[in-house]
Amino acid sequence: MTKKANESLKSRQHSCKGKCHGESKIKESCCKDQKKSQLSYDEMFDMLQRTQANLENYRKQTEKRIDEVRDFSKREVLIKFIPVLDSFDLALKALSEDASSEVKEGMGMIQTQLLSTLKDLSVEVIPTDGAFNPLLHEALAKVPSDKAEGIILAVFQSGYQLHGKVLRAAKVQISAGKQ
């Protein structure tokens, strides 16, 4: 190969991949353009990655908001059902001894079914045995008794919680201790 052909081949093999042909000013200009386009490519790639990350964060935030709205709606509906449970409690207590056993049994079965459904929806009855907890219980009366102070003596209304959050506090009577 001739010297001129060899130089031409070398100039085409530099980073511009044959876009410029030998003259140093043209070669430098072409390399600068390629560096600018490479920089532009890197900036665009970085922007694409950031946009993808932002989209993923937005998707997660949206899912979280949807779950919060769903939980809030569920909570509101469940609060409306609590008086129905209270009515069943009162109805079962008010049934006289003269009422037929089938009626009592039927009412008890309906109440059990309601409680089971609420349990499936993560609603729990607040426990009322033991010590008074102001976060879970509302003291309506404090009476002297043989039991230690702060022990729950009677339950006026059951309390309910959803995922550890109180829907309605249990209304109770507590001991004032020995007088």
The string of pLDDT tens digits covering residues 101-112 is 788 888 888 888
- The per-residue pLDDT for 8 is 45
Nearest C-alpha neighbor of 82 from the set 156, 168, 164: 168
Is the predicted pLDDT of residue 10 greater than 80, yes or no? Answer: no
Phi-psi region of 114 (alpha: psi -120 to 50; beta: other; left: phi over 0): alpha
Task: Tell me the mean pLDDT in the region 65-79.
Answer: 88
- Work out the pLDDT band at 176, boundaries 50, 70, 90: confident
Residue 140 forms part of a structural domain: yes
Mean pLDDT value across the chain: 80
- The per-residue pLDDT for 4 is 47
Residue 143 forms part of a structural domain: yes
User: Which residue range is the domain that position 128 belongs to?
Assistant: 124-179
Residue 144 forms part of a structural domain: yes
- The per-residue pLDDT for 6 is 44
Task: Tell me the mean pLDDT in the region 12-30.
Answer: 52
Residue 165 forms part of a structural domain: yes
Output the pTM of the full model: 0.61
Residue 39 forms part of a structural domain: no
- Split into its structural domains, the chain has a count of 1
CATH code for the domain of 172 = 2.30.22.10
Residue 171 forms part of a structural domain: yes
Residue 11 forms part of a structural domain: no
Residue 131 and residue 69: Cα distance in Å, rounded? Answer: 34
Residue 67 forms part of a structural domain: no
More confident residue, 48 or 20: 48
The SS3 call for residue 91 is helix
